[in-house]
Structure 1
């Protein structure tokens, strides 16, 4: 399944009348330039699943950094990924591979 279709399906599976009102997925740009991805894993099966931090730097514009962390201002645990301007799909693939593992 294509990554974007898979993310849409995963999001919809979390929606239970409550989760989508407090949590969700945010994709934004950063000024490096690059991407920022924040996916709420609070109140999901992923909340306690171990995640090995990913830190790959190929060049100044081809890199990713992904981790899970408790972020109080975002109300809970999140998968957080950052990457270069052409690495958005790779960040989402890291999340997908972790969920499917």
Structure 2
């Protein structure tokens, strides 16, 4: 009695029935797609642009209730922003919708 070993085609046919194998086969295309998306995201600035110098370094440094009590009751907040590059600062009042 002779034992025949499965051929490569037989092994690949078996692997095609395994769901994890399908993801492994698709991985190179998926990796390429993710690398492209990551490169696009890395090109975008992390911070919004400063209204004074235009560089992407505008960061909120403080958030506190508005100064007057009636505004505080309404939920108004004063947001302090500062540019990390030029040092420009501004306070913006956020009014809830």
TM range (shorter): under 0.3
Q: Which has the higher strand share?
A: 1
Taking structure 1 as the reference length, the TM-score comes to 0.23
Taking structure 2 as the reference length, the TM-score comes to 0.24
Q: Which has the higher helix share?
A: 2
| Bigger relative contact order, structure 1 or 2 (CA pairs below 8 A, ≥6 apart) | 1
